[in-house]
Amino acid sequence: MDARPRPAPPEPDSIPLLTSLLVLFIAFTAMYLRTAPPAPRPADAPASAFSATRAREVLRVLVGDGAPHPVGSDANAEVRARIVQSFADLGYAPQVQTTFACSGTDQACATVHNIVVERAGRDAGPVVLVATHYDSVPAGPGASDAGVSVAAVLEAARALAAEPPAQNPVVFLVSDAEEAGLIGASAFVAEHPLAANVGVVVNLEARGTSGPSVMFETSAGNAWLIDRLAASLPRPVASSLFYPVYERLPNDTDLTVFKAAGIPGVNFAFIGGGSQYHTPLDRVGNASPSSLQHQGENTLAIVRAFAEADLSSPPEGSVVFFDVLGARVVSWPVSFTTPLAVLAFLLVAATAVLSWRAGGAPFWRDFVGLAGWVVALGVSALASWLWLRQMTGLGAWPGGATTRPALAVLAFWVLGLAVALLVAVIVARWARVAGAWTGCWLGWSAAGVAAAVTFPEASYVLIVPALVAGAAGAAGTAIRRQAPGTVAAMLPMATAAVLIMPSAWMLFEALGPQALPIVGTAIALVGTGLAPLAARAGGVRWLVPIAALATAGTLSALSLRAEAFSPASPERMNITLFQRAEEPRARWLLSPQSGVLPEALRLAAPFGAEREVAFPWSAAVAFSAAADPLPWEAPTIEVIDQGVRDGHRFVRLRAISPRGAPVMTLLLPRSRVVSISVDGRDVPQRPEGGVVRPSPRDAGPPLGGYTHHTVPSEGVEIEVVITGDGPLEGYLIDRSYGLPPAGAPIAGARPVTATLAGLGDVTVLARRIGF
Ligand SMILES: [Zn+2]
């Protein structure tokens, strides 16, 4: 029995729902405009400012004729000379650190030439290190990766040169052999006298040619770094959510090396235009001047801030952080996350009690609302996943590529929104307005508590909207003595949109189609905030989700029809000419990104219809065609010395590429190798085992070893320490960039919508070795 007076149910009102959809659209527009990098500043910008127009002229000079300049190449030396000259022209005294070094990241060694430039401070240290790299991949000119960052460093160095010395010295490191496995940075950390005095590092990178300069990685104890960042960056794009995403990518940067050496730091990169990354299209004309402006502004601002910071004893503590539409960075200590989440939950629960006492819905309606919230998320996750499967089955996004990524992303955004609304409308019949509000925000804030414990870096997307909901709900209900109204529903929903949309927009660029179910579910989460508004709406509440479903279908159909590849957004398709010493003929190997053999290439060489295992030491597959035997001798080893030392057998070898290939790889059974050293330098052996998986055909043991870039013509001396009995068998492989003249017709048959990428076209010779 309940004697309290119950207000009559409110009249249906569709205006709040339609207004909320407008708010979502405004949030989307704001996100779209604010996550774009700023316009380049003109050449006559004040001398203290960063001007991308000035920096672009520097970039043009650095890139020169656009020849790829991997470590050890002649073009690498030319680019290095131009950078050294540019620093000298600014009044600096650049030095070149030349050394032979090995890195454990890719188990690779090279003779590297790092450019190191010091700017004195009022104190002797610690030093602010500003790092990027000048080497490119063999396939492209590296204008964006990392020429843009080198140009940004030079333009920032120009601005700093005109200023009186800051408290801390600044060291610019333009490293070599980053693309070959972070070898230059490893050499700096291991051997350069300045390395021991570095207090903080700012690393600059690119995984594309456009887009905002995103601060995506920091080190442990990042509270003080984010403090400085928040106070200095004019247009910050940063989130603690980005690092867990980046960790899932196969990419690595020099910051990995600095962090491993215990140096704290921040990492900036732009990732738009990823289809041009590491290809011949990474040229100056495709390098976005806005990205250069943003990367440079960030560099100059954060270097000035760190140069005046106390680096000798930075405070400890880590924070959860995010930017709000590029306007400012919000952060709180990780230890506050759970209390904040619990506070949000208590506020929402208090709202439910106050609302009930004010004559709102009975509690069972809240539980219906909560069940609706859970079902909405579950169904949208399932629908997004099934939709991705369906689209992929229909041939969408071959090799993860599309020339119109926005269509794919928007299709899943609208799908998520439609499913969330549809469930909300169905459940509204029982939950009513108050139950829909309470159920949604109870679920949301409970998820916030769970995320605070399990995934604090990302928990802010749940906790902040829940806090807004709890505060607006509790205050409104206490004052007005009735169930949460339109404002208490719209404010947290809009907050969620502002926080979630930027990541949901960029995730496809970072991860490809596999991100689409996450993207759809994330936007569905925003959509669940519409439940109380949909519960109030009239007949239009059915119309909106049905129209949204139709829109999602249309966007998907358009995405399906969009070209996967174009000359400006090409398919990755390297050609390898491969010969084993044990076989009479060579083979052409082709591995198109889409997995489809182009007709023109099938006509150019007798490629088989199915891909097969390409190399005996790897599980990689490729289309294969017979080729004439190569006129060169495969790489060879000669045992110089062997014996037993400290209970282990050691073998000293000389490995030579008779044809003078610049790169050699030695592969041996991983489990039997204790250590490998080259010219007296230890090659760090990663504990997780082989660097390559054996091919299923050979079914041998996992293989490991190292790759030697910059192989001298007389060969290299390698010492291998071995455990276990019996002879050791493995492979010696050499690699040169490009194809012999016989490859011209095949390379020429590559479609205009395809390109080389990364290592590009290579000629590889291999020999089975044993000792
Ligand atoms: Zn790079």
Helix (H, G, I), strand (E, B) or coil at 302: helix
Q: What is the mean pLDDT of residues 147-173?
A: 97
| Reported pTM | 0.94
Tokens encoding 213 = 């300069």
Express the helix, strand and coil content of the chain in percent, nearest 5 each.
45, 20, 35
* Peptide bond just before 362 cis, omega within 30 deg: no
Model pLDDT, residue 755: 97
pLDDT higher than 70, residue 688: no
Using the mean position of ligand 1's atoms as its centre, give its distance from the Cα of residue 253 in Å. 7
Across the chain, mean pLDDT equals 93
First-last CA distance in the chain: 91
Helix (H, G, I), strand (E, B) or coil at 1: coil
Residue whose entry in the numeric block shows the structure tokens 């276990």? 724
- Distance separating alpha carbons of residues 174 and 153, to the nearest angstrom: 9
Tokens encoding 98 = 């030349």
Model pLDDT, residue 104: 86
492 neighbors 468 (Cβ within 8 angstroms): yes
Using the mean position of ligand 1's atoms as its centre, give its distance from the Cα of residue 207 in Å. 7
β-bridge mates for residue 741, sequence order: none
478 neighbors 467 (Cβ within 8 angstroms): no
Q: What is the mean pLDDT of residues 486-509?
A: 95
Residue 254: name the closest of 138, 160, 134 by CA: 134
pLDDT-derived band of residue 592, with 50, 70 and 90 as boundaries? Answer: very high
Using the mean position of ligand 1's atoms as its centre, give its distance from the Cα of residue 76 in Å. 14
Dihedral (Cα; 42, 43, 46, 48), 10-degree rounding: 110
Residues 6+ apart with CB under 8 A from 81: none
Model pLDDT, residue 266: 97
Model pLDDT, residue 707: 95
pLDDT higher than 80, residue 1: no
pLDDT higher than 90, residue 608: yes
Using the mean position of ligand 1's atoms as its centre, give its distance from the Cα of residue 11 in Å. 60
Using the mean position of ligand 1's atoms as its centre, give its distance from the Cα of residue 89 in Å. 25
Residues 6+ apart with CB under 8 A from 83: 62, 94, 115, 134, 150, 154, 174
Residue whose entry in the numeric block shows the structure tokens 């404010």? 491
Model pLDDT, residue 142: 98
β-bridge mates for residue 595, sequence order: none
Model pLDDT, residue 696: 57
Using the mean position of ligand 1's atoms as its centre, give its distance from the Cα of residue 146 in Å. 5
Using the mean position of ligand 1's atoms as its centre, give its distance from the Cα of residue 388 in Å. 31
Using the mean position of ligand 1's atoms as its centre, give its distance from the Cα of residue 280 in Å. 14
pLDDT-derived band of residue 2, with 50, 70 and 90 as boundaries? Answer: very low
Model pLDDT, residue 699: 62
CB atoms within 10 A of CB 317: 14
Q: Residue 607 phi/psi, 5° resolution?
A: -65, 140
Amino acid at 480: R
pLDDT higher than 70, residue 573: yes
Tokens encoding 407 = 């269509």
Q: Residue 628 phi/psi, 5° resolution?
A: -65, 150
256 neighbors 105 (Cβ within 8 angstroms): yes
Q: What is the mean pLDDT of residues 618-629?
A: 94
pLDDT higher than 80, residue 236: yes
Model pLDDT, residue 702: 82
Using the mean position of ligand 1's atoms as its centre, give its distance from the Cα of residue 4 in Å. 68
- Distance separating alpha carbons of residues 319 and 330, to the nearest angstrom: 10
pLDDT higher than 90, residue 736: yes
Using the mean position of ligand 1's atoms as its centre, give its distance from the Cα of residue 66 in Å. 16
Distance of CA 402 to the CA centre of its chain: 18
pLDDT in tens, 508-525: 999 999 999 999 999 999
Using the mean position of ligand 1's atoms as its centre, give its distance from the Cα of residue 574 in Å. 20
pLDDT higher than 90, residue 245: no
Model pLDDT, residue 768: 95
pLDDT-derived band of residue 3, with 50, 70 and 90 as boundaries? Answer: very low
Residues 6+ apart with CB under 8 A from 651: 639, 641, 642, 719, 720, 722, 728, 771
Using the mean position of ligand 1's atoms as its centre, give its distance from the Cα of residue 258 in Å. 15
Pairing between β-strand 108-119 and β-strand 170-175 as defined by DSSP bridges: antiparallel
What crossing angle do the helices spanning 149-161 and 289-307 adopt, rounded to 10°? 50
Model pLDDT, residue 689: 42
DSSP of 59-76: HHHHHTT-----TTSHHH
Q: What is the mean pLDDT of residues 639-650?
A: 92
Higher per-residue confidence, 539 vs 206: 206
Using the mean position of ligand 1's atoms as its centre, give its distance from the Cα of residue 761 in Å. 20
- Buried b / exposed e along 341-350 (16+ C-beta atoms within 10 A): bebbbebbbe
Using the mean position of ligand 1's atoms as its centre, give its distance from the Cα of residue 50 in Å. 22
Q: What is the mean pLDDT of residues 753-771?
A: 96
Using the mean position of ligand 1's atoms as its centre, give its distance from the Cα of residue 251 in Å. 9
What crossing angle do the helices spanning 337-357 and 405-454 adopt, rounded to 10°? 90
366 neighbors 438 (Cβ within 8 angstroms): yes
- Distance separating alpha carbons of residues 322 and 366, to the nearest angstrom: 32
Q: What percent of the chain has pLDDT over 70?
A: 97
427 neighbors 369 (Cβ within 8 angstroms): yes
Higher per-residue confidence, 686 vs 202: 202
Residues at Cβ < 5 Å from ligand 1 ion: 145-146, 205
Residues 6+ apart with CB under 8 A from 609: 597
699 neighbors 117 (Cβ within 8 angstroms): no
Tokens encoding 768 = 């089975």
Residue whose entry in the numeric block shows the structure tokens 């990098």? 37
Model pLDDT, residue 610: 95
Model pLDDT, residue 527: 97
Helix (H, G, I), strand (E, B) or coil at 265: strand
